[in-house]
Amino acid sequence: MGTKEEVKQVIVHLLKVRPEEVKDGQSLEQSLGVDSTEMVEVVIALQKKFGVQLAEKEVAKQHTVEQIAQVIDSKRNA
């Protein structure tokens, strides 16, 4: 499974939404109406899952799953 799919899985599990609700090309805010408090949970869950530190600005509700996956991949490869 690619990073993008794994990120999606974390979000689906955490927010209790259906996988098809997380739409490609849309930010988490656009597709799911994620608010800033939910985003805190998402960032903590992603840090645990991938073992990387993520800053608030790097992973935000304005980002798509793809963008988040890219940030995580670049940190893992660094």
CB of 2 to another protein, least distance (A): 25
Q: Is residue 56 involved in binding another protein (CB under 8 A)? A: no
- Round to whole Å and give the CA distance between 60 and 40: 9
CB nearer to another protein: pick between 16 and 57 = 16
Are the C-beta atoms of 52 and 72 separated by less than 8 Å? yes
Residues 5-44 that bind another protein (CB under 8 A): 15-17, 37-38, 40-41, 44
The residues that touch another protein, with contacts defined as CB under 8 A, are: 15-17, 37-38, 40-41, 44
